[in-house]
A and B are shown apart, each in its own frame.
Chain A
Amino acid sequence: DSGVTQTPKHLITATGQRVTLRCSPRSGDLSVYWYQQSLDQGLQFLIQYYNGEERAKGNILERFSAQQFPDLHSELNLSSLELGDSALYFCASTPGSRPHNEQFFGPGTRLTVL
């Protein structure tokens, strides 16, 4: 158990819908990272938050947004869903914003768009 929790574990929805994925980082970790793992794109970085502020952005679509709340949990919002958004979405956390020697991943949320 990495100490990072993600809910829900599975999510099945239809095209055009909006969903919210939730992540709670390890106790004391201030940085949260979101990654997407899909068959065609592999594992790619979406966005990083540090202590409530956006720190870095990767290949995140405009239909996607994220935020980190004062209690440090983070949510990834996906809207106007398309079939190609079906993927495994991970969050990971580290203690600070600077590069760290470990980046622990949550169990992931498997999103299926029908």
Chain B
Amino acid sequence: AQKITQTQPGMFVQEKEAVTLDCTYDTSDQSYGLFWYKQPSSGEMIFLIYQGSYDEQNATEGRYSLNFQKARKSANLVISASQLGDSAMYFCAMRGTGASGSRLTFGEGTQLTVNP
């Protein structure tokens, strides 16, 4: 079974500062993928970034980067130069290749608030 743990229900950051959202995972699959999604108050799920378990380099997409530490089973999202529009719920998710197939398993989310 796959499990995603996000231990920060809420985080606060000042505008223009960087923030790290924590994510740890558990899986018995050798090959898997890790995702981060943003859900603003309007409700849609916006794909941010993806990291494959065999990728040697940490993924980056603009202001988003994924700090992947395989031995520690962590996949933290780093948002640099926070903007007011970054205020939203952030979900970490994973998909494996075993019996769970290509479905996504989500964590409980972290509510990020960016203060001016």
Q: Interface digits, B90-116 against A, CB 8 Å rule (1 contact, 0 not)?
A: 010101110011111110110000000
Which residue of A2, A48, A99 is within 8 Å of B97 (Cβ)? A99
In the bound complex, residues from chain A placing their C-beta under 8 Å from that of B52 are 101
CB distance from B40 to the nearest CB of A (A): 11
In the bound complex, residues from chain A placing their C-beta under 8 Å from that of B68 are none
CB distance from B3 to the nearest CB of A (A): 12
In the bound complex, residues from chain A placing their C-beta under 8 Å from that of B97 are 99
Which residue of B44, B95, B100, B108 is within 8 Å of A103 (Cβ)? B95
Q: Interface digits, B73-95 against A, CB 8 Å rule (1 contact, 0 not)?
A: 00000000000000000010101
In the bound complex, residues from chain A placing their C-beta under 8 Å from that of B47 are 2, 102-105
Contact B45–A99 (Cβ < 8 Å): no
Task: Report how many A-B pairs have Cβ atoms within 8 Å.
Answer: 64
Partner-binding segment picked from A17-25, A38-46, A62-70, A75-83: A38-46
A45–B102 CA distance with the chains assembled, in angstroms: 10
Q: Interface digits, A67-107 against B, CB 8 Å rule (1 contact, 0 not)?
A: 00000000000000000000010101010011111111101
CB distance from B28 to the nearest CB of A (A): 15
Contact A101–B33 (Cβ < 8 Å): yes
Closest chain A residue to B32, Cβ basis: A99
Contact A55–B101 (Cβ < 8 Å): yes
- Answer whether A56 and B108 are a contact pair too, CB < 8 Å, given A43-B91, A103-B47, A103-B95: no
In the bound complex, residues from chain B placing their C-beta under 8 Å from that of A100 are 102
Q: Interface digits, A23-62 against B, CB 8 Å rule (1 contact, 0 not)?
A: 0000000010101000000111100100000011010000
Closest chain B residue to A99, Cβ basis: B102
Contact A45–B104 (Cβ < 8 Å): yes
In the bound complex, residues from chain B placing their C-beta under 8 Å from that of A35 are 104
In the bound complex, residues from chain B placing their C-beta under 8 Å from that of A88 are 43
Q: List 14 A-B contacts (CB under 8 A).
A: A31-B102, A33-B103, A43-B109, A44-B106, A48-B101, A56-B103, A58-B103, A97-B102, A98-B102, A100-B102, A101-B33, A103-B102, A105-B45, A110-B43
